[in-house]
Amino acid sequence: MIGTLHTNDAAQTINRIVDLFPAVQQEQMRSQLSLVLTGVICQTLVPRADREGRVPACEVMLATTPIRNIIREGRVHQIYNTMQVSKKDGMQTMNQALADLVMRGLVSKEQAGLRTMMLDDLKALYGYPEHNL
C-alpha cells in the first residue's frame, strides 16, 4: 500500500501517522507501524541551476531494524541521526540529497539553503563556508 502525506521529513511523517490515533492507542500504533512500514520517501522539487525546470531532492528512510526499534519505542527524534549514518542501507537525508545536487551542479547553494530545515547541518555536513549558503 502507498500513501501520501504533506510533511517535511520522515520523522514528521511517522509522527503524523501516530497522531491520527487517540493517545490511548498510540503506543499500539507505533508497534504496528514499526512492523508494517517499508519506508518513507519525502520529496521537494528544486529549481535547476543548469537549465530550466526542476529536479527532485528526495529523503529516503527504509524500515531497517534500527528504524523499526526507534518507531516502536517512540524515539522518532532519533530517525534523522540514524538515517545520516545509514547510506550503505540505501537511506538519505534531505540535506544529503540537496548537497549532492549542489555538488553535481544541478541546483544552486542558495536554492538548497531555502529547502533545508537544518541549514547549519547542511553547511557542517559538507563544509560550505557560511557566506556561500
User: What is the pLDDT, as a whole number, of residue 28?
Assistant: 97
SS3 helix, strand, coil % of the chain, rounded to 5? 55, 15, 30
Q: Which residues touch 10 (CB under 8 Å, ≥6 apart)?
A: 40, 42, 59, 61, 79, 80, 83
Q: For domain 10-126, give the fold.
A: Rossmann fold (3.40.50)
User: What is the pLDDT, as a whole number, of residue 128?
Assistant: 61
Q: Taking a C-beta distance cutoff of 8 angstroms, is the pair 76, 34 a contact? A: no
Residue 133 CA to residue 128 CA, distance in Å, equals 7
CA 115 to chain centre: 12
CA torsion, points 119, 121, 123, 127, in degrees to nearest 10? 180
Q: Taking a C-beta distance cutoff of 8 angstroms, is the pair 73, 51 a contact? A: no
User: What is the pLDDT, as a whole number, of residue 125?
Assistant: 67
Residue 119 CA to residue 117 CA, distance in Å, equals 6
User: What is the pLDDT, as a whole number, of residue 5?
Assistant: 83
For the chain, which residues score pLDDT lower than 50? Answer: 131-133
**pTM of the full structure:** 0.88
Segment 57-75, tens digit of pLDDT: 999 999 999 999 999 999 9
User: What is the pLDDT, as a whole number, of residue 126?
Assistant: 67
Domain ranges in the chain are 10-126
Element (H, E) at 57: strand 54-62
User: What is the pLDDT, as a whole number, of residue 121?
Assistant: 86
User: What is the pLDDT, as a whole number, of residue 1?
Assistant: 65
Q: Taking a C-beta distance cutoff of 8 angstroms, is the pair 52, 69 a contact? A: no
User: What is the pLDDT, as a whole number, of residue 131?
Assistant: 44
